[in-house]
Amino acid sequence: MNLRLHIWRQPGPDVQGMFKTYDLDGVSEHMSFLEMLDVLNETLIGRGEEPVAFDHDCREGICGTCGMVINGRPHGPLQRTTTCQLHMRFFKDGDEIYIEPWRASAFPVVRDLVVDRSSFDRIIANGGFISVNTGNAQDGNAIPIPKPDADRAFDAAACIGCGACVAACPNSSAMLFVGAKAGHLGMLPQGQAERGSRALNMLLAADESGFGACTNHLECEAACPKGISAEFIAMLNRDYMKAAMFGRD
């Protein structure tokens, strides 16, 4: 198939960016979206032009690195699908595709489609862990956990930290990410001791990083490639309110 690509090009964080148009021929429907960009970059390099910078790592839908906005939607047109798992058979010959980076002040553009997501790291560093002494590793059945709680904790832990929730939110809120990271610990016995302080500290870090507030648009839930439920935002809000009113823990 033949495609016309409109790609955001920005040499650096302090340089004005703009869309640049590329015509790419002979794209196989069996290619992934990132493989299509690889072909484009090989073409650009062959012409002596700068290749398009974009993030990628595992290319298996696990690492969360490959975030980009495709035709106005984070990760593209398919629900619960990362960019690296999106294939060109879902596009048509002659399509025009607009590709741009996440748009959020907390995710400053580094170059082209690459953004700095270290703000997520700062949120995790401020509470996304268990620091109390829980002893040595035990057998899996040593601490009984109700299956509904274990299942919900697993659902929250599926978050890959890609940032699609932030890119989709009109407020650039990170509440779904924070809710998932706090929620999967808060559902387990080992995470109870710091549950209140975890909510307070992680939300404070999110505010300091420049993320917006949640106003329940739920675009985050729709854009999440792992289908993380907005129920975890409600859980995070409850933990925050309890900790703010009655003490951190």
- The residue-averaged pLDDT of 29-42 equals 97
Distances (CA, A) of 42 to 45, 48, 58: 5, 10, 20
| N-term to C-term CA, the chain | 58
Give domain limits for the chain.
3-110, 117-246
Q: Determine the pLDDT at residue 134.
A: 62
178 residue type, one letter:
V
pLDDT score, position 249: 60
**92-134 tens-digit pLDDT:** 999 999 999 999 999 999 999 999 999 999 999 999 998 877 6
Which residues does 135 contact at the CB level (< 8 Å), separation at least 6? Answer: none
Quick one: how many helices (H) and strands (E) in the chain?
8, 7
pLDDT tens-digit profile of 128-185?
Answer: 998 877 667 677 677 788 999 999 999 999 999 999 999 999 999 999 999 999 999 9
Asked if residue 204 lies in contact with residue 130, where contact means CB atoms within 8 angstroms, the answer is: no
Please spell the DSSP secondary structure of 40-107, one letter per residue. HHHHHHHTTPPPPP---S-SSSSS-----EETTEET-SSTT--GGG-BGGGS-TT-EEEEE----TTS
Which of the following CATH numbers is that of domain 117-246: 1.10.1060.10, 1.20.1250.20, 3.40.50.880, 1.10.10.10?
1.10.1060.10
Class of domain 3-110: alpha beta
Please state, in angstroms and rounded to a whole number, the distance separating the CA atoms of residues 158 and 66.
Answer: 16
In the predicted structure, residue 17 carries a pLDDT above the cut 70: yes
pTM across the whole model = 0.94
Confidence of residue 70 (pLDDT cuts 50, 70, 90): very high
**What is the rounded distance in angstroms from the CA atom of residue 99 to the CA atom of residue 111?**
13
8 A C-beta contact, residue 167 and residue 67: yes
Confidence at residue 45, expressed as pLDDT on a 0 to 100 scale? 98
- 3-110 matches 117-246 in fold: no
Q: pLDDT band for position 71 (50/70/90)?
A: very high
- Summarize pLDDT for 209-233 with one digit per residue, the tens: 999 999 999 999 999 999 999 999 9
